[in-house]
Amino acid sequence: MITLTKLNRESMMLNAIYIETIESMPDTMILLTNGKRYVVTESVEEVKQLVTDFYRDINVLANPK
């Protein structure tokens, strides 16, 4: 799960596994595989980094040493 901020400044947790697309229009819109859309204050790059960190935390992305 990643923590994001809605436009009304409330925090929300989102399961990053279900993210289909992330767009900047100019607000960041996240489309999930179930068709739900969320608009958040974080930039596309910030969401991308949060998703990458999440995948590393659950060992989906290997971090060879």
Please report where in the chains the tokens 């958040």 appear, as a residue: 40
Q: Is 55 exposed, middle or buried (0-12, 13-18, 19+ CB in 10 A)?
A: middle
Please report where in the chains the tokens 């971090």 appear, as a residue: 63
Q: What percentage of the chain has pLDDT greater than the value 90?
A: 82
19-35 per-position pLDDT tens digit? 999 999 899 999 999 99
Task: Report the predicted TM-score, pTM, of the whole model to 2 decimal places.
Answer: 0.86
Residue 63 has pLDDT above 80, yes or no: no
